[in-house]
Each structure stands twice: as C-alpha cells, then as structure tokens.
C-alpha cells in the first residue's frame, strides 16, 4: 500500500511539473525543473528502502524493472505502479488538453521522429537502470536527475517524459507528443532498462 501511495504521489507530481515546465520560457529551465523534482521524489521514495527491498520501485516502471531483475523488488509491483501512475498521468494530461487555450503555448517546437524516439527511449532506459542500481547501492540520490536530463537533452522536448512511461502517456494525452512516438519510446525505454540492468549487474554485481 505504501508503494502505491508513493507511486501515486510521484506520478502526479512529475506529470504536473512537466506540463507546467513545458510552458516555461526557457527549455533548459524546463528540463532542470523536472530533473530537480525527480531528485526530490526519489529521495522521498528511498526513505522506504530496507535491507530486503528497495523503495525506489515506486518511482516508476523503469526503476521497477531494474530492481525486480536484481531481486530488490517484486515483479508483482510493476503493473500496479504503472497502472496507478498511468491513470493519474492520463487524467492530468486530459485536463491539461481541455484547458490548453487557458494554459498558454508550450516550448515544443518539433515533433520527434520515430527513430529519435527509439534512440532516446533506449538511452533513457539504460541510464535509468544504472542510476537506480547506483542509488539503491548507496550512491547519491542526485543521480536521479540524470534520466530526465538525458530525455530532455537528447531530442525534442516532447521526449522529456521518456524517463517515466506514465509521464509519457500523460504528455501524449495532453497532445504534446504523437502516440506512435510515445509507443516507440516506451517500448525502447523498457528494453533499455532490461539491457542496462543486466549490463550493470555483470560489470558491478548488485548485492541482493
């Protein structure tokens, strides 16, 4: 129950932050704000970590996949976390879409190509796996800013949500990224998280 409550908080907060940040005047500021909020939420989730299980699985699907592979989270938590975050993100995205005229213009200047969506998703997934295992192993929580920075710096800002599949769905619902690019980025991110986890685990064995 605590995991789902933390997941709900993370999903809602990061979606609202991203939708607001994408209406800022500076794209660098937009990415920085989302990254900073991610660090704060990750720190909060990490407070629930124990010797037997990590609390970072509440931060999203990509960290959940990495932690499940190394035995620091149960596979059964993946779908509930994704579901609760996705429902909230889609609801918030739908509200933002309905209020689009009142919220003002966004910083999105170009739509991502499918190739760029795939590359960004894969890079973010790999990065997220490394960051998650590093933090869970005692590394600095500040590392949790990296996936958002990679997502926002690799291509168009529409791909900023690639570091969190639920956020990606929320941005798509808000009309800020095409659904085909959303699907490609989401699948690539999950695949990248799997590859990244096994790679990091092979190079730096993670204590279970």
Residue listed under structure tokens 């960290």: 63
Name the nearest CA neighbour of 112 among 177, 27, 24.
Answer: 177
Whole-angstrom distance, CA of residue 105 vs CA of residue 23: 6
Answer yes or no: CATH 3.30.70.260 is held by domain 2-203: no
Return the SS3 of 112: coil
What are the residue boundaries of the structural domains of the chain, listed by start? 2-203
Least confident segment among 99-103, 110-114, 135-139, 161-165: 99-103
CB 161 within 8 A of CB 31: no
H-helix or E-strand spanning residue 189 = helix 179-203
Give the predicted TM-score (pTM) of the model: 0.89
pLDDT digits (tens, 9 = 90+) for 11-60: 899 999 998 888 877 888 889 999 999 999 999 999 988 888 999 999 99
pLDDT digits (tens, 9 = 90+) for 127-179: 999 999 999 999 999 999 999 999 988 878 888 899 999 999 999 999 889 99
Whole-angstrom distance, CA of residue 7 vs CA of residue 125: 18
């Amino acid at each position: 129950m605590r995991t789902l409550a933390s997941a709900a908080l993370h999903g809602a907060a990061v979606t609202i932050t991203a939708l607001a940040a994408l209406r800022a005047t500076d794209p660098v500021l937009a990415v920085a704000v989302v990254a900073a909020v991610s660090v704060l939420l990750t720190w909060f989730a990490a407070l629930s970590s124990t010797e037997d299980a990590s609390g970072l699985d509440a931060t999203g699907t990509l960290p959940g996949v990495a932690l499940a592979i190394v035995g620091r989270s149960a596979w059964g938590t993946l779908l509930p976390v994704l579901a609760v975050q996705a429902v909230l993100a889609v609801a918030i995205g739908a509200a933002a879409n309905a209020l689009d005229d009142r919220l003002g213009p966004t910083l999105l200047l170009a739509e991502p190509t499918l190739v760029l969506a795939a590359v960004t998703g894969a890079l973010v997934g790999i990065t997220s796996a490394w960051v998650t295992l590093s933090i869970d192993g005692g590394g600095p929580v500040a590392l949790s800013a990296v996936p958002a920075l990679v997502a926002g710096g690799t291509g168009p800002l529409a791909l900023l949500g690639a570091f969190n599949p639920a956020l990606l769905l929320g941005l798509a619902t808000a009309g800020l990224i095409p659904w085909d690019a959303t699907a490609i980025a989401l699948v690539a991110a999950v695949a990248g998280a799997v590859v990244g986890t096994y790679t990091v685990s092979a190079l730096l064995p993670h204590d279970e």
